[in-house]
Amino acid sequence: MKISKSRTFKLLTVVVVLFTTVATTVVNTNGNYFEIAKNIEIFTNLYKEVNTYYVDELDPAKLMRTGVDAMLESLDPYTNYISEGQIEGYRFMVEGRYNGIGADIRIIDDLPTVMAPYKDAPADKAGLKAGDQILKIDGKDTKGKNAKDVHTFLKGYPGTEVALTINRPGEKKNLEITLVRDEVSVANVPYSGMVSEDVGYVALTTFTREAGRNVGNALKDLKVEQPNLKGVILDLRSNGGGLLSEAVNVSNVFIQKNELVVSTKGKVQEWNRNFKTLNIPIDEKVPVVVLINKNSASASEIVSGVIQDLDRGVLIGQLSYGKGLVQNTKDIGYNAKVKITTAKYYVPSGRCIQSVEYHEGEPVHVSDDKRTPFKTRNGRTVLDGGGVRPDIVLDPNSESDILQTLNEKNFIFNYVTQWMLENPEVAEIEGFNFNQWDGFVQFLENKKFNYDTESEKLLEQLKEQSKEDGYITEVDMSGLENKIIQAKKEDLYKNKDAIINLIEKEIASRHFYEKGRIQIGLRNDKEIEEAVKLFNDPAKYERILKNGK
């Protein structure tokens, strides 16, 4: 429906009145009534004039969204506007559930492609498989649609139907599949088990509701399986966080009741709070190792920071992300919300691990000389700002250019999709090993696999600069280029073990879902090996907790 300009003006007048009312409310908290009211009036007048007189027809909602997003982007990466259409995605991040078909879907070759159906979700029950391309949704072509549009089409109320036209690799004809939408719940503890005779393991992928209860239940099960548990590994790698309350509950699994976990402090002092554990722990004595990496953020950093500050366990991995901010959501009408950073959080030593600078939405590394030292309960020195540093730092070389490209360009995914056509059955994870390396290399050659290294990027910059300066000739450059080409050929074989590990994870996920991906990955995990080795050396474990070495 097209809205007339006169009606738009009337709506804007209402908006001015509403904004002015808001400004009147705000005066009680910060005393900036005049500045707020003046700028709201300027903004509204500008919006009205542009919408009325701009040479081309405008979408008022899109124009306003651009303005809102730009305003919030100037604050921090976590203060966001959540429209009515984004509520299901927000619910999934917070609660671990949403209404839809239950599948990880991404755009590959301009078509929405099923990356993984979630176990027992509608997509799984209907027989959707990883690699399936969705050609149509309810008769509408999907080619060229972005991921946001596709997810909007697929989500809906439980009990409603959605018809999909599927192109499945290996099938000559397209498949017509009708699914019944339902509430989809994704497990936050997809796997737990023993990684050695007496060392347990729990993977926590997100801090959605019941995370603390699920980690606690997993630990109970491990203690039943092995009463003489030598230690437990809590895996928070690539866990982006979630509910602060669940960070407290997960910490409470390992630390005693009424222990301070985290404090939040912000502009509105009445909202400042101390969060303490409320329950009897599952086990406050069992040795603990927490695994973190650069993508462990927010609630993951609270738990790892607490374990470190209270000297309750040892951290292994890489420097964490560095998000020490707390967000609260406010309803703003029309089923929309705004998620606002309202406070910073502080772990028991008093430190805040928030990175103080951002570049393109990512935290900028903070050097140690700019970080304030704090003390753990045993007197060990820890630093604020820029993330949580593990007690044992390991570099698994996961950032190699070739591994990044194989994942980001979906070479691993597409190869396994082809591999599955010839190898449809995998009886069990424990005995499975991928042994068709030559076939994978041939696949890459057929796909004309190539990737840019950091060296090549620097060489291109050097070429451009040398053309301007006239210092280096093309002949001089050719020697460097040849060396890089040769090094790239060797790079594939140098990373053979890591690549096979990625292939095995993808194959396992096709048969045993996320649980299988995690389980098979544990076999070749250097950080798991380091943790088991540490549990087998209790003197070293205790020494680290006493003096950090």
Catalytically active residues are 298, 309, 323
Residues 62 and 15: their CA atoms lie apart, in Å, by 16
CB burial of 102-122 (b: ≥16 within 10 Å; e: otherwise) equals: bbebebbeebbbbbbbbbebb
Cβ atoms of residues 246 and 278 within 8 Å: no
The number of helix segments (H) and strand segments (E) in the chain equals 17, 23
Residues 365 and 359: their CA atoms lie apart, in Å, by 10
Residues 334 and 84: their CA atoms lie apart, in Å, by 7
Cβ atoms of residues 350 and 383 within 8 Å: no
Residues 6+ apart with CB under 8 A from 45: none
Cβ atoms of residues 511 and 421 within 8 Å: no
DSSP string, 232-268: EEEE-TT---B-HHHHHHHHHTTS-TT-EEEEEEESS
Residue in this structure with the two tokens 């690549």, named with its chain if needed: 499
Cα–Cα distances in Å, from 93 out to 68, 120, 242, 271, 338? 22, 19, 7, 23, 15
Residues 6+ apart with CB under 8 A from 7: none
Of 303, 82, 86, nearest to 211 by C-alpha is: 303
Both tokens assigned to 116: 């993984």
Angle in degrees, CA 354, 357, 360, rounded to 5: 115
Cβ atoms of residues 22 and 332 within 8 Å: no
DSSP string, 68-81: HHHHHHTT-TT-EE
4: which DSSP letter? P
Question: Which helix H or strand E contains 527, and what residues bound it?
Answer: helix 526-535
Residues 6+ apart with CB under 8 A from 234: 202, 204, 215, 250, 288, 289, 290, 291, 303, 313
